[in-house]
């Protein structure tokens, strides 16, 4: 029997400089680099995964860093914000930290129509992120980085999709994917699955005059949703194909298995399995510590390591003029 989608699995975006990407997500936001591998379709490019200690689905933001890539356009048919959940009362601490470290961030503010306080910020490539203050998010944060547990990111809060006509995308979420409406602001329509808590929500914002989003550096490539197992994935594949979506074959991504389809508003979606997870090829204590390759690329390891630029997880220096 087909089990429901359980929430967000991961979000994949495109970056430029790999070291700047590692510095920002580990050294400033305090996520853990849980896997350092390559783009299986382009093994001369890294694929970085950031998340909590184990890379639990619902905490994972991933990047393909292409040095020198041009910047994309934020717009319709795209995931235009990725939101992380942080503890209630921590946004003042975050605002001070982001300012001190020279991050492009707005002051905390209430989201119109919703009872939630948000900091909007951008990563070094202009990718739009949000920190949302949430009471009662019981997920354990990664505390091996520079951010203390009292303020640390718990995982995703949700994503925002931008649409020319929100009804097209909301119909896909509601009728094909089992999401239900849980809130509505002026031009923002909120959906969720499961318990509706952090990591289960998708917002669709109406922007009839927005440009069409163009995927390149600083934009989201796709949004992946959680499925519990392979049998459920096969059932979803059949159902979505039966509803007219062009669904990819099941692809082995080593740490999960994936199918992809484009929702009718243009955003690339993926359905990814929880198993086997990131500990399949290195112990939890050492996640992200060395370059991992799938078996079919191991024979090319020496050449791949020569091509890839060196990166390290390191303490991020306070920018000159940024410190008080
Ligand atoms: Zn993916």
79 in Cβ contact with 159 (< 8 Å): yes
Q: Are 118 and 143 in contact (CB under 8 A)?
A: no
* C-alpha of residue 102 to centroid of ligand 1, in Å: 30
pLDDT score of 209 more than 90? yes
The pair phi, psi for residue 20, each rounded to 5°, is -65, -35
pLDDT digits (tens, 9 = 90+) for 115-149: 999 999 999 999 999 999 999 999 999 999 999 99
Identify the CA nearest to 139 among candidates 204, 217, 51. Answer: 51
* The pLDDT of residue 324: 43
Q: How far apart are the CA of 68 and the centre of ligand 1, in A? A: 22
In a 10 Å sphere around its CB, with 0-12 CB exposed, 13-18 middle and 19+ buried, how is residue 306 labelled? exposed
Report CA(59)–ligand 1 centroid distance (Å). Answer: 13
Find residue 63's DSSP bridge partners.
13, 48
**76-98 tens-digit pLDDT:** 999 999 999 999 999 999 999 99
Residue 82 to residues 10, 161, 248, 256, 323, Cα–Cα distance (Å)? 10, 9, 24, 21, 27
Looking at residue 321, its pLDDT comes to 58
And the tokens for 286?
């050492």
pLDDT band at 1 (very low <50, low <70, confident <90, very high): low
Ligand 1 centre from 257 Cα, in Å? 9
**Residue 10 CA, ligand 1 centroid: distance in Å:** 6
Between strands 268-273 and 42-51, the pairing is unpaired
Q: What topology does CATH give the domain 8-307?
A: 2,3-Dihydroxybiphenyl 1,2-Dioxygenase; domain 1 (3.10.180)
In this predicted structure, the answer to whether residue 323 has a pLDDT above a threshold of 80 is no
Mean pLDDT of the chain: 96
85: its two tokens: 């959940």
Average pLDDT over residues 2-26: 97
Q: What is the 95 CA–ligand 1 centroid distance (Å)?
A: 30
CA distance 10 to 273: 11
Contact, 151 vs 143, CB < 8 A? no
Could you tell me the distance, in angstroms and rounded to a whole number, from the CA of residue 273 to the centre of ligand 1? 11
DSSP conformation letters of 46-78:
EEEEEESTT--TTSEEEEEE-TTPPB-B--BTE
| Cα 203 to averaged position of ligand 1 atoms, centre (Å) | 19
Give DSSP secondary structure letters for 189-206: EEEE-TT--TTSEEEEEE
Taken as a whole, the chain contains a residue count of: 324
DSSP assigned state of 212:
B
pLDDT category at 240 given cuts 50, 70, 90 is very high
Separation of 6 CA from ligand 1 center, angstroms? Answer: 16
- How many A from CA of 125 to the centre of ligand 1? 19
Distance 78 CA to ligand 1 centre (A): 15
How many A from CA of 223 to the centre of ligand 1? 7
- Domain regions of the chain by residue span: 8-307
Using the mean position of ligand 1's atoms as its centre, give its distance from the Cα of residue 12 in Å.
6
> Using one digit for the tens of pLDDT, what is the confidence trace for 165-188?
999 999 999 999 999 999 999 899
């Amino acid at each position: 029997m087909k089990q429901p989608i359980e929430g967000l699995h991961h979000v994949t975006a495109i970056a430029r400089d790999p070291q700047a990407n590692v510095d920002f997500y580990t050294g400033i936001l305090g996520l853990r680099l849980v896997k350092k591998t390559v783009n299986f379709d382009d093994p001369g490019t890294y694929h970085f995964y950031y998340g909590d200690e184990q890379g639990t689905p619902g905490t994972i933001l991933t990047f393909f860093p292409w040095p020198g890539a041009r910047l994309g356009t934020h717009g319709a048919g795209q995931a235009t914000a990725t939101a992380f959940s942080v503890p209630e009362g921590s946004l003042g601490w975050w605002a001070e930290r982001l300012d001190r470290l020279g991050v492009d961030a707005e002051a905390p503010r209430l989201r119109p129509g919703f009872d939630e306080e948000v900091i909007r910020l951008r990563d070094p490539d202009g990718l739009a992120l949000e920190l949302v203050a949430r009471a009662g998010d019981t997920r354990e944060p990664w505390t091996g980085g520079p951010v203390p547990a009292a303020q640390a990111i718990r995982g995703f809060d949700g994503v925002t999709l931008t649409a020319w006509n929100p009804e097209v995308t909301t119909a896909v979420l509601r009728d094909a994917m089992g999401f239900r409406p849980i809130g509505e602001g002026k031009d923002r329509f909120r959906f969720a699955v499961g318990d509706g808590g952090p990591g289960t929500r998708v917002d669709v914002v109406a922007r009839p005059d927005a440009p069409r989003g163009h995927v390149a550096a600083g934009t989201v490539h796709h949004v992946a949703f959680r499925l519990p197992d392979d049998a459920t994935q096969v059932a979803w594949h059949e159902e979505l194909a039966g509803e007219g979506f062009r669904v990819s074959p099941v692809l082995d991504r080593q740490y999960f298995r994936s199918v992809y389809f484009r929702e009718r508003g243009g955003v690339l979606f993926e359905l990814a399995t929880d198993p086997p997870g990131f500990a399949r090829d290195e112990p939890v204590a050492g996640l992200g510590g060395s370059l991992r390759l799938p078996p079919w690329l191991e024979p090319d390891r020496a050449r791949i390591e020569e091509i890839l630029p060196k990166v390290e997880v390191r303490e991020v220096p306070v920018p000159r003029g940024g410190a008080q």
